[in-house]
Amino acid sequence: MKIVQISDTHLSARGGRTQQNFERVVDYVNHQVRPDLIVHSGDIVIIHPDDADDRAYAHELMQRFAAPVLVVPGNHDVGEPGSAPWKGIGVTDERVAAFEEVWGPDHWRHDVDDWTVLGLNSELFGSGLDRETGQWAWIEDVAADVPDSQRVIVFLHKPIWSALDEPVGHAVDIGESRTRLLTALGKMSLAAVGSGHLHCYRQTVRDGVREVWAPSTGFVAGEGESLPGPLHQLGIVEYDCTGEAVRASYRSVPDLEDVTIAAVPEVTAAIDALGHSTVG
């Protein structure tokens, strides 16, 4: 089985540079990589989870892939947990419901041969919503149901493990939910965890589990925001699942420019608009 992970597309009904990049990714994936499955690890829409036009248009664009596409939400798709979410955009039942109306369940299981692929909503962890309780119960049920013979790959938007040694002005991983989630996932034959959110590529192995940060297809982190060490380039990740082994490889897509957010006017305009709107 071959899986392609794309992430942080930041698509808008107004088009622009992120859509141009996305169209190049679609062409490359369809004609060069030809995967069995595509997983989008969140931040599908440009900025605001309440923009129904962006969500509908992004869904229309995603139909251009030849392979089946499964998605998990990012903070820009449903809001994020915590007392101080980015720009005050917190995760709510209504935002998750709006996501599910277009994309389907915010967490899911997909079995192919000897592999089980799980998608999780990272924005529920620590939210205190009833939906978080429901997702925890589902994770425990899946952990009890998946046989030891199945190898498991998990996709979610924010990394499970801590991404930074020092706090910054926004959430960069799932925080205190990490211990509980790793305990649950440890009941299965976990092979890899793929996440997005950080707009860079990195791969490491933790206790035999391959951890992958997928790059964005939209833009790289700007000056002062990028993390030291990872690869700051746009692209995709290809997973080759053969037997019990999983290999993850960064793929550079032709003609993608490694621009920062400042060079994408559609994104900066959407952020500026938040200062003139009521969030909640």
Determine the Cα–Cα distance for residues 123 and 127; give it in Å rounded to an integer: 7
Q: How many Å separate Cα 241 from the centre of its chain?
A: 20
Provide CB contacts within 8 A for 268, sequence distance 6+: 261, 262
Provide the domain count of the chain. Answer: 1
- Domain-located, residue 189: yes
Q: What is the CATH number of the domain that holds 63?
A: 3.60.21.10
Provide CB contacts within 8 A for 193, sequence distance 6+: 153, 154, 155, 156, 159, 160, 185, 209, 210, 211, 212
- Domain-located, residue 279: no
Q: From first to last of the 280 residues of the chain, give the pLDDT tens digit.
A: 999 999 999 999 999 999 999 999 999 999 999 999 999 999 999 999 999 999 999 999 999 999 999 999 999 999 999 999 999 999 999 999 999 999 999 999 999 999 999 999 999 999 999 999 999 999 999 999 999 999 999 999 999 997 665 444 568 899 999 999 999 999 999 999 999 999 999 999 999 999 999 999 999 986 556 666 789 999 999 999 988 889 999 999 999 989 999 999 999 999 998 875 533 3
Choose among 157, 255, 165: nearest CA to 213.
157
- Domain-located, residue 241: yes
Q: Which tokens go with 206?
A: 């933790």
- Domain-located, residue 15: yes
- Domain-located, residue 280: no
Instruction: Note the pLDDT of residue 223.
Output: 59
For residue 179, what are the domain limits?
Answer: 2-274
- Domain-located, residue 89: yes
